Structure 1
């Protein structure tokens, strides 16, 4: 057993911790409170003068499939041989020795979702994993955690320039709808015993059966509305990834009950879809009651700037509580792993960070990061 005493900070769920003791057993938070009896022989850490938070969560990254510092050889995130590749899986391309994982741990990020890129209309399956480890299968906590899809400029550019569909936004939507219809037919044929196994349709079937959501790259407002139209047509669960123009239709998003991954807002306006990019999107989503998370989209913005992004969100209208939830408890809900991580509660994984000061002060640094009770 371990004990962290004199803990002050955020619990991830919107409440502050003030001079409490946290007991950890078997890698889980065991008890949290004041005047706890610490069993004899317990390894004890004094957090006096430090600031405590749950481990941070980035819901949308390409860690390990778009490796840093090695160029083309490490770019395993876009299988651009076809416009729809639902059969591929991010777990099969992750290199746990990517330097980005070390950067994540050093900056307090303990959990990430790793997904294919946005070159394809359907990019493949994604997974959620801890940022410490050398064997991906032992790092994973949810696999699959969703199926990647993309709208807008990226699939049009990657495939349209090669002279194949999609060339237009109509073509993007048509490919996605066609694959979903073909999957409906496949499911019926499998039940009737008239179809052989097909990996592409098997993984799409998880979306239609609501085992995982379709997580769709959509920046522009019209693309977001197209995604919601397809959600209604096929009665599937979706999340909106990036949601750059979400401020233009926040109440409409709220009506559809979707979760949003917002970011990376620290980028320049490098393409047309980002022309209305700004920190004002997050307060608009919050006001409308749209649940959101903040992402770096690593390596678009380096993973060590997840906390920096939250600081910028506070500077531009979010409360510290809202911003912290967006990279802890709300992020965990976005990924469907809220029973394991995201807040300091008995029974959850003991993933936490000790900071030199309030993490919303850019001068503060993550001094120690723990995953399942072990310093990493």
Structure 2
């Protein structure tokens, strides 16, 4: 029997559009069985809900105040947390009086705003907007603003699962996955500068802060290293987005990093190639969908709606994620880079908003999801997005 079956009226493939709303259901994130439903109404927009946290919710990182933004000994602000993962924001503007080590969780540190000197046991990096650095659990690091007092925003993804390059996925398809290559990865090199000054190392262990004091600097005394690239830097603008003639591809089609057993995916989504198939076969945008993962979306850059840069959204597994599609259109010549960039974090872990984050939620997620995130995803302007039929 064929693996893809049809029943009832199927007006178009998942990439297309018609008068019906399509909702894709998937298992194991996007890597298991799937089905596409064609509906008359949108189940992503209930008229009432017992707990607003069950809906998609978003906020602007600029509305938050992590304590490390004003206190050199402060700490990042936790926005969402679950048993296996957490999302945090750092706004460090002053040099910390310590180095740091997270004993239990691996980190992806994404630099949205500001320039920093990131020192690690393996060597230093200079980091700025668009860079992201992988720091495994147990590694000592120190993050110092290049310009003291300058504003900065660092989005931190913490996971129990180790971080792997997604080339383990793309190697299975050989050269067909050539677009996702890691040759522009930057590796740290230890500087030759002696043992440094006495240093306190702040440890995060068993959900508490602890510390060690050393009579040297653990980020200075290493003279060399040998082994796998466990600490490294990449930049989102070096990661090309992909598309098809018909349009829609799933977020993990743009995976850069991932966790074991498909536990989580870190996806980088720049503007994809413009589709060329008209409706009903093709479209711009994405269908509504529901699966067994929680999704976090972050708007790093948007030329269509620059005020949405820095917006963070959670699309939980409890409600379908509303789609938004429009007819295919081509950008004007000459070709140029479109300044649009999103991060997507898909995880098996159930993520829960903290009270501090809830206080900064946008007032109307049913509208603002379209104007903040989806509107830019398909090149729509806010007034057009507000007019989308949601019921």
TM-score by length of 1: 0.27
The structure that is helix-richer by fraction is 1
TM-score by length of 2: 0.27
